[in-house]
Structure 1
Amino acid sequence: KNKGIIKPSLTEKATEISNYLEGETNFIIGERSLRDYRSAAQKLENDDGDIRIKQVDVISGLCSYLGYENYQDFVKRNEKPKVDRTILTETPIVKPTVESLPKKSILRNYRFYVLIGIMCILLFWLYNYTTRQRWMVWTDDHYIEVDFDAKKYDIKQLKLYKEDRIVSFKKIKVTCLTDFFHPDGSVLVWYGKNREKQLEYFTDLGLHPETGKTLKPISGYMINKHICVE
């Protein structure tokens, strides 16, 4: 819907998630497999069973897509509290009335409840602060964190905040003198074409900020053909 598709089909939804998983985990899973998982989950909706997803990268990517840090965070935040049935059958404890308590005891209890109340407020504020949704936008050659403002930013510009994108993902200019590889041969630069079909270079793998297409690792062929041209 953010891209202007009012009634996206199941295939379009699955394709969107498939592209996200590929960019997030570098793991390729087809939209058909995702639709099969959805169908299996719907059949078990009213049961206690669950579907089995064998690929760990897919599980981690889906959790990230939903805004969770990882699978453990997903389980923790969706775990249903267990009720101890034995407590419900025990004889209720008769609490003493205020009149029967000494003044010092009343004051001590009052301070205790005030302290508990303050702690609950602080914990509630801390929870909202740490779990609030954060956003970022692409500016020229890097991402910056911003507040969600649909009037200031195009909805297509706003992306879910990712610290690694802020810290290590940059667009760079390259020459023959650029270090394209680590000493062990691993890649330092990735490339992709912008909307004008021009090659652009980046410091990390991921999706092109403008086109959303997966960036490719640099190769000796690309360096010789497009960068170190004699």
Structure 2
Amino acid sequence: MDPRIKYLIKEIFKKAKEESGQTSVYACCKHLENRFREDFKCHEGTSSRSFARLHQKYVEESQRENSTPKPGLLDAMSQYLGYSDYRSFLLEDKPISFNGFINRLTKISVSERTLIGILILIICLMLSYTIFMNNPSGPPPPECMIWKITHFEIISCELSFNIDKAGEIIGFDEKLYENMKMIPKSEVRVGSSYYYKVDRDSLQFFSWYGLHPVNGEDLKPVTNYIMDKYIGNQ
């Protein structure tokens, strides 16, 4: 007896029971006869009596016959289970569809589902431990940045590495990092540049709005008046 054909036939009877809602072999055989003849246009070997003999031979194992289902019937039975043909059934070997998996899962008892959940949790913890052991230093610390005279530079957030700069380190801000620069007078433009008045006659110019990167005071937009007074024709 070919175990692959045995498995195939057991599966079609299992599906027939689920579809028909019947438990008797006779009712399942009638259901399969209708399905195979109407939906798969397969008439040879698909009478209810033929399916009953297949059940006796392959499921009950109460009848010995030398004959096996013909290729056309094997293809139709495979298609009934969701395969394109018998060859696909042999190659893929015992698939479980998503709906079939859900149906089987719902039939599992609460205690069994709890056990499965615990096993999955243990596996996840083991994988996490393995990953951590392969990388004992852990993930890299989040980036921070610090103002360096005219621009921001990336620096480690680990204070133990930069204890002398503890009060100057801030969290990484991509917009500030990319856009905030102290610029020379030659690059100052009305409408896109900002200034900070250091003293009566001295200004610092920046390429981005917001707060001064060192003292946190407000930056002001450069106006035509500021341009004329502090930059002029330089």
TM-score w.r.t. length of structure 2:
0.40
Structure number, greater radius of gyration = 2
TM-score w.r.t. length of structure 1:
0.40
Which protein has the bigger helix share? 2
